[in-house]
Each structure stands twice: as C-alpha cells, then as structure tokens.
Amino acid sequence: MKNVLVTGGAGYIGSHACKVLRDQGYVPVTYDNLSTGWEDAVKFGPFERGDLQDRARLDEVFAKYEPVAVMHFAAFSQVGEAMREPGKYWHNNVGGSLVLIEAAVAAGCLNFVFSSTCATYGDQDGVVLDENSAQMPLNAYGASKRAIEDILTDFGASDGLNSVIFRYFNVAGCDPDGEVGEFHQPETHLIPLMLDAIEGKRPALTVFGTDYPTPDGTCIRDYVHVMDLVDAHVLGLKWLEDGKGSRVFNLGTGKGFSVREVIDHSSSVTNKPVPIVEGDRRAGDAVALVSGSTRANAELGWSPERSTLQRMISDAWRWHQNGHYDK
C-alpha cells in the first residue's frame, strides 16, 4: 500500500480527498493541526496531529510513513479574513508551506500536489483565464497561494521536486454518501450560508454587492463539485507517479453563475425561499472568475460531470440537514 501525506486532511476538501485516495488503494495519512479541521472528518486513514511550521514533527511523520507523495490542502482560505489579517496568510500559508516543502525534499518525497486557486488571477475583465494567464491576486489569500506556486517552481529547479498545481475555482457540494461534508466554523461560503438562511439558522443571506458590471449586478463564479475536484487530485497523483513532471491545471467547469443565479437554484432545489438582504461589496472580491481552460480534460482525462449547480446544492443540502462534526 502506498502512503500519501495529506495536509489539511481534516478539512473540507482534504477529507474528501482522503476518501477518494482510500477508494483508489492509497493510504491517506492526515497531517492537520485542527485549527479549522475536525478530527471526526478523519475516517479513511491514520491521523497525525501537527503544524506545518513544526519541522521536527514533519520529519518524524515523513520518516514514519515514507509517503510516495504529498497532497497539500492545509491553508487559511477566506478572502474577507485575508483582507483584515494578511499576516496570518503569509505566516501560515507561505511560511508553513515552505517548511513542508523543505521537509518533503529532505525526506526524498518529490511528488507534490498543491491546492492553489483562481484567486491568483484576480480581476481580468474579459480575459479567458487559462493556466498561462497573468496572476494578479487582489487579496493576501491569492497572493499567498501564488507565492507557494513560486516556491514549488524553485524547488523543482533546485531539487527535482515535481509538482501538480491545481488552481481551483469555487468548490461546492459534498460526498453524496454523507460520510464527510462541508463544515466550517465560522462559515463564510456562499452555498452553506444560503442553506443556513433557508433553514432559519441565520436570519438572511447577505448578497455582497449588487452593482457589479455583470448582467444581474452580482459576482460570477465557476462552481466545481468537491468529488470531481478530488478525482482530479488522484489523476494528478498518477500523473506524477508516471513521471510526467510538473504541471499547472485549472479546475473549473468553464461556466459561471452569478450569486443571484445560485440563490435561485438553491430555492428550486430545496423548494424553499432564500431570505436575502442586499449588502455592500466584500473587499477583495473579483467581479468574475470563470475557467477558460480545457487542459485538465485534455491531459488528465478529467471531466467534472457532477458539477451541476443542481447536484452540488442537493448534495450540500442533504449533508446540511444531517451532517456535522463535533470538536
């Protein structure tokens, strides 16, 4: 059995990746400090509690499991928070990733799958966002991810580190079996907040900005089902194991939906109205982020078939009503 070190395996996307890795015959070893993750979400392999900045602990874990690859999900990932507390993003995301990358290289683990983001592109009105697009992040979250991409490139040149970098668009939905799901505290993401508002757990969803230059005035995003997203990670891992070398891939569907369109779909999936209030723009938000690349399909054979709004919202809704984790 091959071990894969999954940082952030107790978090939303990492826990789904662990499930798919386990299903594909790997042993996912979760490395997580539980700052935002949940031990209850670690169900598919061993758990090693630790911090990215703790080099001695990382060395111990690399020596114990001798992983064939790292999948690096652990990060802070909220745009609003990144605008208020950029230092947190530079210290944890960039500083922590640097320690992790150095530990991986020292251990001879030279296959690295990294969660980057479309937030590295920033606002580029009318430009098709493919992997060669300029990266002009609007916030410290996107800037921290771009910096980590640069670190990976440098260690590729110096030490032969092979990296598959995935630039995610907006991830949504959850495991249809309900074993793991999306559970953040505090929650900041559109779809879970909307489902809370539908259930009356919050008075209303605040729509962040209704005066954007889009057809209905709200921001546009490209939503990807988390199960499709983690499938891409396994394809990326196999790509590295096959010796195909470093590569960047956008993970999006190529189709954008406005905040109002997501609200309308949620209302029809749940058959309930979404209470909303219209608020100000959120600092750091891009107007529209939609992938314009087919590279992941052409080169990895990835096709995001579950990534319809209907499917993402209905899977999230099922989890929302039944699933949660306890500290």
Minimum gap (Å) between residue 140 Cβ and ligand UDP: 13
Q: Count residues contacting ligand UDP (CB under 6 A)? A: 15
Q: Does 206 help bind ligand UDP (rule: CB under 6 A)?
A: yes
Q: Does 120 help bind ligand UDP (rule: CB under 6 A)?
A: no
Q: Does 190 help bind ligand UDP (rule: CB under 6 A)?
A: yes
Nearer to ligand UDP, 219 or 300 (CB): 219
* Beta carbons of 4 and 67 less than 8 angstroms apart: yes
Q: Does 310 help bind ligand UDP (rule: CB under 6 A)?
A: no
Minimum gap (Å) between residue 100 Cβ and ligand UDP: 23
Pick one of 16, 19, 57, 221: the residue that binds ligand UDP (CB under 6 A). 221
Kind of pairing, strands 2-7 and 247-251?
Answer: unpaired
**H/E element holding 195?**
helix 190-199
Taking Cα atoms as reference points, which of 168, 158, 157, 156 lies closest to residue 75?
168
Pick one of 226, 285, 309, 311: the residue that binds ligand UDP (CB under 6 A). 285
Q: Which 8-state DSSP code applies to residue 129?
A: B
Q: Does 79 help bind ligand UDP (rule: CB under 6 A)?
A: yes
Pick one of 7, 163, 170, 307: the residue that binds ligand UDP (CB under 6 A). 170
Q: Does 259 help bind ligand UDP (rule: CB under 6 A)?
A: yes
* Beta carbons of 286 and 138 less than 8 angstroms apart: yes
The footprint of ligand UDP on residues 287-306 (CB under 6 A) is none
Q: Does 282 help bind ligand UDP (rule: CB under 6 A)?
A: yes
Pick one of 114, 208, 239, 249: the residue that binds ligand UDP (CB under 6 A). 208
Minimum gap (Å) between residue 153 Cβ and ligand UDP: 24
DSSP bridge pairs for 72: 7, 114
Q: Which stretch binds ligand UDP (CB under 6 A): 66-74, 126-134, 182-190, 313-321?
A: 182-190
Minimum gap (Å) between residue 316 Cβ and ligand UDP: 12
* Beta carbons of 9 and 37 less than 8 angstroms apart: yes
Q: Does 97 help bind ligand UDP (rule: CB under 6 A)?
A: no
**From start to end of 161-262, where are the E strands?**
162-168, 170-172, 205-208, 220-221, 223-225, 247-251, 257-258
Q: Does 69 help bind ligand UDP (rule: CB under 6 A)?
A: no
Active site residue 168: no
Spatial distance between the Cα atoms of 161 and 104, rounded to a whole number of angstroms: 9
Work out the angle at residue 129's Cα, subtended by the Cα atoms of residues 127 and 135, and round it to the nearest 5 degrees.
95
Contacts 24+ apart (CB under 8 A), 293-296: 293/129, 293/130, 293/131, 293/249, 293/250, 293/252, 293/254, 294/254, 295/130, 295/131, 295/249, 295/250, 296/232, 296/235, 296/249, 296/250, 296/251
Minimum gap (Å) between residue 279 Cβ and ligand UDP: 7
Work out the number of other CB atoms within 10 angstroms of the CB of residue 231.
Answer: 22
Minimum gap (Å) between residue 220 Cβ and ligand UDP: 8
Work out the angle at residue 44's Cα, subtended by the Cα atoms of residues 40 and 46, and round it to the nearest 5 degrees.
85
Nearer to ligand UDP, 37 or 252 (CB): 252
Spatial distance between the Cα atoms of 138 and 136, rounded to a whole number of angstroms: 7
- Catalytic residue, from 26, 31, 141, 212: name it: 141
The set of catalytic residues is 141
Binding site for ligand UDP (CB under 6 A): 79, 170, 188-190, 193, 205-208, 219, 221, 259, 282, 285
